[in-house]
Structure 1
């Protein structure tokens, strides 16, 4: 057990904080930009809520965060009301936001200057993974700091690994999103082709999923793609944010990502269709309009 704080109670952060309280048995104080959501969380899971990140972080051994983007992250970490201002030397800040490697290194340096630890720890597994406590967590930081938080992260993760120094977790998450972008586009084209060919799409997916074409996306999104159901899962807006981050990083490091860049534009078309909050599997919808 540890005294911990969790900043950000969205579709990912809320369940993750809940697992820390219920499965991990930790003493959890939460913060959310909209207080009613924090109050509702406390009614379900116990613990306490605080009006600022700084107050939530006071006395915590580990402070977790899962917010929207780089600027959201800076707003809860830095400044007079930020978490770092309330943390005690030796405590660790763990960031589960999918953000840039650049901001991870910036905040790691800010934490180190105050005698604090920092781990960038983006997750994969989506809302269902958060709710079921089976996320995959990719971490950046030093080994001694990681060892302090690995057990607590296990409250909501089935896999957690240190990938390298600060920023390495975010870079690994970028690889994850690169792979997903290409997979979802390929699956969308496969479903679309099967329909046009007059095949039984579910039968096709069932048989090819047993071979080399099989994937998590096929198992979990193939049937819903075929049915035109996109009102769940990881939103297109979020995927475009992630693709923007990794394409910016690619411009810096010289990586060539033609498929990722193309799929980003396809998602822009989905947004123009009104699909901002549709699941990322909605790529098939632009083929069928």
Structure 2
């Protein structure tokens, strides 16, 4: 058993059925790395395709309520708990998804702390100039001994206020961060030709609309989730909500959503290429190969890395 096998790729590359076929073959369990599949009742729009898993156990899907804002810190904690549980049973964990930030955070063991919003502090900082906020932040960082990460901490008043909020919280609540170690992993990337990817995205969007994606969004709105909370989740939920509440026509919704998904897939690929520049080795395999052949290639890579 290797520590972890990671299968990543852009949307519509077929990574989930591949991860499921691999898990089936080696008796593994899947950890999802998808920032939107964590939400219950958001099934068609997030492309859960749970039937792809067959009887393979999966984790980190349907773990919180729609309308809430799940974040990277929570994901890291949840991932690590599930990962430890799978390993303790002597089973092979397989991480699969397209949210590059989530994947990178757990493989690298990012150190994050949960900092709630501090409204009184925010109110007191309202109206300060960026220069003044930067000075306050530098003083706080000097007290806490933390370093100015880089100028992105203070490239806008909003970000500077958030950085001050974090530093203030850390000074008032010095807590030992839960150290999450980096996890060694054989990383497989599913490489799909751009034209084929575009074609599959369009085909899949039409299929999901036929499957009742509009009704899914209506049901979420009817259950009392405010439209702006659904719009916050982006992509399908943004454009379908705007269609349902009458801000877009059906054709506008389809056209704009299709473009947005193409752009999203491009951003995913940019992130994965960035991971390679940041020192990760990604073994790319051809999306068009038969599943059995792809599984064989992955097993060869895993075995040769031991």
TM-score normalised to the size of structure 1? 0.31
The higher-RCO structure (CA 8 Å, 6+ apart) is 2
Larger Rg: 1 or 2? 2
